[in-house]
Amino acid sequence: MIDLFGRLAWGELKLFEFFHAPSIDTAVASGAAWMAVLGVLAVMAWLTVARRWGWLWSEWLTSVDHKKIGIMYMVIGFVMMARGVFEGIVMRAHQTTALDGGVLSNTHWAELFSTHGTVMIFFVAMPFITGFMNYLIPLQIGARDMAFPVLNQISLGLTTTGAALVMISLVVGAFETGGWTAYPPFTGADFDPGPGPDYWVWAIALSGFGSMFSGMNFAVTIYKMRAPGMSFMKMPVFTWTALCTSILLIFALPPLTVACLMQALDRLAGFHFFTNDLGGNMMNYANLFWMFGHPEVYILVLPAYGIFSELTSMFAAKRLYGYTSLVIATMSIAVISFCVWLHHFFTMGNSATINAAFGIATGIIAIPTGVKVYVWMATLWGGRIRMTTPMVYMTGFFILFVIGGLSGIILANPAINWQVHNTQFIVAHFHNVLLPGLIFGIFAGVHIWFPKAFGFRLDERAGKITALLWIVGFCLTFLPLYLVGLMGYPRRSAAFDNPDFVPIMIVCMIGACLLMAAFAGLFVTLWISIRNRDALAVPLGDPWDGRTLEWATSAPPPPWNFAMIPHVNERDAFAREKADGQPYVTPERYEDVHLPPNTAAGMVVMIATTAFGFAMTWWIWWLAVASFAGMVLWYVVHSFREHPEVTIPASTVARHHKAWVEAASLNPGVTRDHENDTRNRGRAATDMVVAS
Amino acid sequence: MSDTQVNRHPGLDLGYVGSGEAEESKVFGFWVFLMSDLVTFGLVFAVFGTMVGATAGGPGPEEVTNLHSIAIQTGLLLLSSFAFSWASLAMKYDASRWRFLIWFSVAATSGLFFLVFEVLDFHHLIEIGAVPQRSGYLSAFWALVGLHGLHVAAGLLWIWVLTLQILKFGLTDRVKSRITRLGLYWHFLDIVWIGIFSFVFLAGVA
């Protein structure tokens, strides 16, 4: 019986820890476990009561539609973000009490900062950007789907596996305590034989395969499936940033996979890659991890730059200034991002020459980023700016991100880096670039493209209040950390002994509460918008006077995206059509559309790899073998079956398209001044001068 | 459209006009995958390079290299790749599937014997105590050679599955497209082996 479950035992269940040894520490641990379990049960209960299981399965889980897959990525991101934000609050609460101690145990504190980082980077930021790329790439390049729709679903399955393993670690066993980077030998078998580092290894390795496949899929889609006439320099800017991110994913994920699997071999099979003894070398891990880790920063932030580029030109009603410079800057960032990884460990024994080289490279990468900031400023200059919710996020981003970037320039200098390394200054820096840079971009993007995906706009008033809460909350929570960092407060430290830190940490705690309110504000906005969805409806699909091809579809777009594949002659193809007065036309004849059929491939991979990861963590060898072999066998059998495409008859396509074109031509259109009232049905009355 | 066709994958000839639109993307996607896989191998090579001296007093390159066996393995793998290229030509120019299947089975058999010799080598290493738990050098050695071996094993599985598909469906367009990708994979493993042969074995005893 013992062998059947490996090293898993009843005592590993976190749910009852509080009842055995009541304390604040165990209350937090058990409470979190109960929240995860009850959350899953509540969703299952709703699905059962509302009789939604069949709908969930056939409309979503087995769908290969890139739009639905994109939305599912966003859902994963928000669910995991709830956990990440909660953890942030708990950590801030702990820090206000951390003078000579603190309410949480040291181990629990270490688990919190490790899961917070892991969750936020891998299972919030990554699903968000992957979701956006999934949703937007085919629509922006005038394609009907990804190059590999089934592989796309499998990528989603693998990402879900990683997220699931991290969530399971909340209930069963424990997570690792070595930070999101999980440096051995601290996380090696000698110092932490428990399940924590194994959860990390398998969650990251398995979801990493998913990210790599996503990168391949996006890159091939962009290279091979652009609409006729859309040469590279006519692609929308978001697609450009997505292409660069995809290339980064293809090249940067292998180092992470290699690091994870070597760590797994060390831990499970007694290899000596990163151990202290018998020739192991921990520096190989640090190099491998950051060969992934630094490009990862740009994997995350480039699509957000793409969103900011789209929104400045959209809400300034101008063509993007300096398109070519922006493209070159994006590509430069992608290339240089592979030459700076060592600045993450200037203090770990490299020679001064090497440190100087990487410090200079780090300084250089700031130049193309600076180019972008000027491009956005020049785009806004002289434009007719509408202060919509995305523009509020953009404003916050502009000011705060530049501060974050400048602190990065300071850190690029190895001499200064030595002084502040491993302090809260670093924590302030990376939150300062990731929150305003990435998260603000994502939320701005949600406000822009939500109407496209669901057919109604999000409430502007609630959206703006939420945006302001994010901005103010961010400033209070993270900017003071620069100060305590310079005063010498080490990061990842469970306690401190300087009473001067206490008032500052209380300010941070207040900021964290504002961020919590801001996070809740997202759902309040959603709730208000759903209630007013009829007033906010924009079925004609172009609520913001958009410029690129995704706005030339109804909202939501039909499963086949475009009735006929568009021909592109210029950048901002849809803006051109509108300027020429020919935005909504019906073709002479319609053709049948062929779409890939639904498949359970992604779910099979998700279930099998989750079982595999769990089995490897708990040494349940039979399950590991069975799940892996089962997955391979399923795939082999699957490859023998015919998978006829679903054919949408031309008449269906014609009916949908003609109805939309007719509705659009009957609508008088809305001017930008009335964009935010009920007159906006998704038809823009454009007075745009394309050649501005 | 016509100028894009010039740039298509030259090995792609599925035998009818208008073919290759979807296959072109698939083959290109597989090239991209191989590029990523090559980065993986490159990193394991790099880790091996840093660990060549980390023998911790245990067996070193001299003890783990059996050049006789390595020469046979190299010959078998090159033969396998050679047979695969003849199989690809048969697929392209010969309507009958049997000539293809003969070359295909030569490729599979020599691949299998390559693995047999490799496993025998590993078995010998265990006997002399050159196990990966012994030192960093041996960990990296086993990981690098083993990673290539696992790739070959996966390729063999792929060959067998495709053989069954050819027997069941014949050389259909879908099967041909799969064979094209398998061919890329199989030749890729040859190139990686050249690297292992040179940097792990030859350089180890030189």
Asked if the peptide bond before residue A185 counts as cis, ω within 30 degrees of 0, the response is yes
For residue B17, name the pLDDT band (cuts at 50, 70, 90): very low
Give domain status of residue A350, yes or no. Answer: yes
Chain A residue closest in CA terms to B58: A278
The answer to whether the CB of A407 falls within 8 A of the CB of A428 is yes
| pLDDT number for residue B5 | 44
pLDDT given at position B10:
57
Q: What pLDDT score does B206 carry?
A: 77
B8 touching A (Cβ < 8 Å)? no
Q: Given an 8 Å threshold on Cβ–Cβ distance, is B143 in contact with A217?
A: no
Q: Are A116 and A19 in a shared domain? A: no
Residue from the list B32, B157, B161 with its beta carbon closest to the beta carbon of A219: B32
A124 plus A42 within the same structural domain:
no
What are A362-376's pLDDT values in tens digits? Answer: 999 999 999 999 999
Sketch out chain B's domains with CATH numbers.
30-205 (1.20.120.80)
Q: For residue A494, tell me if it sits in a domain.
A: yes
Beta bridge partners of A537: A456
A20 plus A76 within the same structural domain:
no
Q: Is residue A627 part of a domain?
A: no
> What sign results for the dihedral spanned by CA atoms A55, A61, A63, A69?
positive
Burial A154-167 (b: 16+ CB within 10 A, else e): bbbbbbbbbbbbbb
- Adjacent-strand bridge partners of A670: A684
pLDDT confidence band for B8 (50 / 70 / 90)? low
| A32 & A60 share domain | no
Q: Which residues of chain A does B36 touch, with a Cβ-Cβ cutoff of 8 Å?
A: 212, 216, 250-251, 253-254
What pLDDT sits at residue B2? Answer: 38
Do residues A296 and A205 share a domain? yes
- CA-closest candidate to residue A280, choices A201, A190, A384: A190
**C-alpha count within 13 angstroms, C-beta hemisphere, residue A656:** 22
Same domain for A289 and A408, yes or no, is: yes
pLDDT score recorded for residue B4? 44
Stretch 43-102 of chain B: residues touching chain A, C-beta under 8 Å: 43-44, 47, 50-51, 54-56, 58
Q: What is the pLDDT of residue A257?
A: 96
> A320-344 burial by CB neighbour count: b if 16+ within 10 A, else e?
bbbbebbbebbbbbbebbeebbbbb
- Distances in Å between the alpha carbon of A130 and those of A240, A602, A639, B140? 14, 16, 27, 34
Helices (H), A179-322: 196-224, 237-269, 282-315
Predicted local distance difference test score (pLDDT) of residue A366: 94
Are B29 and A640 inside 8 Å of each other by CB?
A: no
Its domain, for residue A333, covers 52-537
Residue in chain A closest to B167 (alpha carbons) equals A640
Same domain, A2 and A148: no
Q: What is the 3-state secondary structure (H, E, C) of A644-681?
A: CCEEECHHHHHHHHHHHHHHHHHCCCECHHHCCCCCCC
Residues in Cβ contact with A334 at an 8 Å cutoff, skipping those fewer than 6 apart: A244, A245, A247, A248, A298, A302
Report pLDDT digits (tens) over A434-481.
999 999 999 999 999 999 999 999 999 999 999 999 999 999 999 999
The rounded distance, in Å, linking the Cα atoms of A513 and A597 is 46
State the nearest Cα–Cα gap between B169 and chain A, in angstroms: 9
A399: exposed, middle or buried (Cβ count in 10 Å: 0-12, 13-18, 19+): exposed
CATH of the domain at A499: 1.20.210.10
**Phi, psi (5° rounding) for residue A13?**
-70, 125
A50-87 b/e with 16+ CB inside 10 Å = b?
Answer: eeeeeeeeeeebbbbbbbbbbbbbbebbbbbbbbbbbb
In a domain, residue A167? The reply is yes
Contacts of A262 in chain B (CB under 8 A): 47, 143
Task: Tell me whether residue A588 is in a domain.
Answer: no
Domain end point (choices A517, A537, A557):
A537
ipTM: 0.94
Instruction: Indicate whether A674 belongs to any domain.
Output: no
CA distance A165 to A607: 11
Give me the number of domains chain A comprises: 2
**Both structure tokens of A343:** 């600045």
B113-126 pLDDT tens trace: 999 999 999 999 99
Check whether B24 has a pLDDT greater than 90.
no
Distance (Å) of CA B163 to CA A137, B83, B166, B174: 37, 15, 5, 13
Q: What residue ranges of chain A have pLDDT lower than 70?
A: 1-2, 687-692
The answer on A378 and A320 residing in a single domain is yes
Regarding whether A183 and A287 lie in a shared domain, the answer is yes
A325 and A473 co-located in one domain: yes
Question: DSSP of B67-112, one letter per residue?
Answer: HHHHHHHHHHHHHHHHHHHHHHHHHHH-SSHHHHHHHHHHHHHHHH
Give the whole-angstrom CA distance, residue A254 versus residue A351. 27
Task: Centre a 10 Å sphere on the Cβ of residue A19 and count the other Cβ atoms it contains.
Answer: 9
Is A172 within the bounds of a domain?
yes
Alpha-carbon distance of B45 to B200, in angstroms, equals 9
Q: How far apart are alpha carbons A687 and A690 in whole angstroms?
A: 9
Q: Are residues A259 and A111 in the same domain?
A: yes
User: Which of B24, B56, B157 lies nearest to residue A278, judging by beta carbons?
Assistant: B56
Q: Does one domain contain both A26 and A62?
A: no
Instruction: Judge: B29–A216 Cβ closer than 8 Å, yes or no.
Output: yes
Q: Tell me which DSSP letter residue A343 carries.
A: G
Does residue B191 have a pLDDT over 70?
Answer: yes
